[in-house]
Structure 1
């Protein structure tokens, strides 16, 4: 037995060292993965994802920098068009980003403040340049992308000491736009009278596709595309048309559904043209529509009325935004809509959660954000 002892001891030592090496390698691999993970968000779009850019546009009528907006947000009214956090804030929570994403238009958004991303979204804007003109000054999607290219990219390179094309694959590029192109453009402008809904939607999709390719050519690789919400179910529309409770305008919803179908298809069409890119299409239309159809099972009660007191046209409002200093409902978590168009934080929680980890392709396609972020460049 004695002569065999050294051999057994050597075997144990070898196994121990092998296990240690494996643990070290595993730990080292995890450290690399953590270091190479998602660094932040760059956001483009409309009021659904705007976090305060319109605050800095003096002649814009699309603002949410007053109470009751932000009534449940830690910083109060900040320009978010809801009572608390919007979808972008909540996605940031899921991604464990260390801070809120700053709005581009804020003069202080520079230097180290931009290393986890920047929000360029502008309330009332759309995919088309002429969408939003009814609200005064807005920042078009084209201009939002120019702001990213001409201002943020050079600053980001200076902060990180690396070329943008090297670091941008580790950021998510979120686009939430399109609804205003229908609500405040196609259905309101007389110039669109002879343009079919199908032709308008096809043009909208082509325009968005070109903008995605622009961002790709600048270095973006990971994209999140938010669908258009069921705009035909908004209190703004139902109040204007005097529709009964729980009714929805199918014409507007058909337009949203048509665009969303094009947007989902675009994911499959454009990906082969953009080598190395990954996409997530988030069907917020379905998520909200499911809540409206069966609110009780999801913790909601009121699916048709705005939570806040909306300023009417006679009061100098537009039937969309909350009245400045107006009344607000007490049970905000039970309402689908906070004002005449925008969802409450409770709905945003549902959208962000499903966007991040749902396994239903009817809600996220072709995968969820959690899976997308595992593709580390």
Structure 2
């Protein structure tokens, strides 16, 4: 598809304004001038702003009470009462207040220029994980990025498209569903892999994912490790450990995986010329909030805000018919039985930005 000189001019003006915006001073220990053109996110429900709304799956969050604290109280598909961590990171980068889903047919030109999310709730690196709830595997998200790149190139030309992608930040978080929905819940992978072997299997896919994006022009990557997945209310409920603490077998798997991921990140730095890549640890910061909620102004971390907060997640169990959804989600670390509240995301997002994202600027 071609474009007129007039439309090209408008696009390039918007492009220039994007780079000016991304160059705003960011508050921190020192003011840093960020040279970031866009933010792209990949992974699961932690960073999915609503892509699952546009595919045939029940793994959705596009009805109330989800989104009750979002702009205009809209349920966008985010598994949260409001914004996700990557929305806050985008704002700290000076790009925009929210990162939209790539599959939204109403995406604006400005959205395409400044970044979108390809994430899909319920997914993992393992294709089998995505099949459990019929969502988009992580490697398929790369295919959607190829479509994005073609649309961007058609809009602003190859040179500007390459610049936007080269100066963008790519954030990816997945893996929890691979363990919780797949490895520990279904027999197939456990019959063929030990926990350590399955970690290697997932990390090999993660490396392929990064290498594919690198070949497509990406150079700045934040590779998230796993959170303390044994501490989410759902898993504690299923294991009968609401009062006794987290499910340690899950947390130990997360720590083992994270240790291998750190080593993987170091190897990528030496193998891929010009790459900027950081390992993003969210395990210990999340664990501190969960173990010490009052330190951060929360009242509880053992249950979520929606319903009982022990088993509800997604539109099937967390909906307008769900009784006793809390009136003040800011008191809760978790929104439903799996996903953090907007306030918890805001806290962890700033921590991630200061400690890790700043290294990519």
TM-score category of the 2 structures, normalised to the smaller one: 0.7 to 0.9
Candidates 43, 46, 52, aligned match of 1:45: 43
Sort the Cα spacing of 1:242 and 1:55 in 2 relative to 1 into closer, same or farther, 3 A: same
Partner of 2:177 in structure 1?
180
User: C-alpha distance in 2, partners of 1:33/1:98?
Assistant: 9
8 Å CA contact retained: 1:287, 1:350: no
Sort the Cα spacing of 1:38 and 1:196 in 2 relative to 1 into closer, same or farther, 3 A: same
8 Å CA contact retained: 2:21, 2:95: no
User: C-alpha distance in 2, partners of 1:123/1:333?
Assistant: 23
8 Å CA contact retained: 2:166, 2:217: yes
Partner of 1:156 in structure 2?
152
Sort the Cα spacing of 1:157 and 1:134 in 2 relative to 1 into closer, same or farther, 3 A: same
Deviates more, 1:343-352 or 1:154-163: 154-163
8 Å CA contact retained: 2:125, 2:178: yes
Partner of 1:222 in structure 2?
220
The secondary structure found in structure 2 opposite 1:272 is: helix
8 Å CA contact retained: 2:40, 2:168: yes
Partner of 2:188 in structure 1?
191
Structure 1 residue 311 displacement after superposition: 9.0
Q: Which runs of 5+ in 2 are unaligned?
A: 1-18, 25-33
The secondary structure found in structure 1 opposite 2:129 is: coil
Max radius of gyration: which structure? 1
Partner of 1:309 in structure 2?
307
8 Å CA contact retained: 1:319, 1:340: yes
Candidates 112, 118, 134, aligned match of 2:132: 134
Partner of 2:254 in structure 1?
256
Structure 1 residue 32 displacement after superposition: 12
Query: Is residue 325 of structure 2 the alignment partner of residue 332 of structure 1?
Result: no
Partner of 2:111 in structure 1?
113
Q: TM-score, normalised by structure 2?
A: 0.85
Deviates more, 1:96-105 or 1:34-43: 34-43
User: C-alpha distance in 2, partners of 1:53/1:32?
Assistant: 26
Q: What does 1:6-85 align with in structure 2 at a 5 Å threshold? A: 34=23, 37-58=35-56, 60-75=57-72, 76-85=74-83
Structure 1 residue 294 displacement after superposition: 1.9
Query: Is residue 309 of structure 2 the alignment partner of residue 320 of structure 1?
Result: no
User: C-alpha distance in 2, partners of 1:34/1:139?
Assistant: 33
8 Å CA contact retained: 1:40, 1:116: yes
May I ask how many residue pairs the two structures share in their alignment? 327
8 Å CA contact retained: 1:52, 1:80: yes
User: C-alpha distance in 2, partners of 1:352/1:246?
Assistant: 28
Sort the Cα spacing of 1:351 and 1:33 in 2 relative to 1 into closer, same or farther, 3 A: closer
Aligned CA-pair RMSD: 2.2
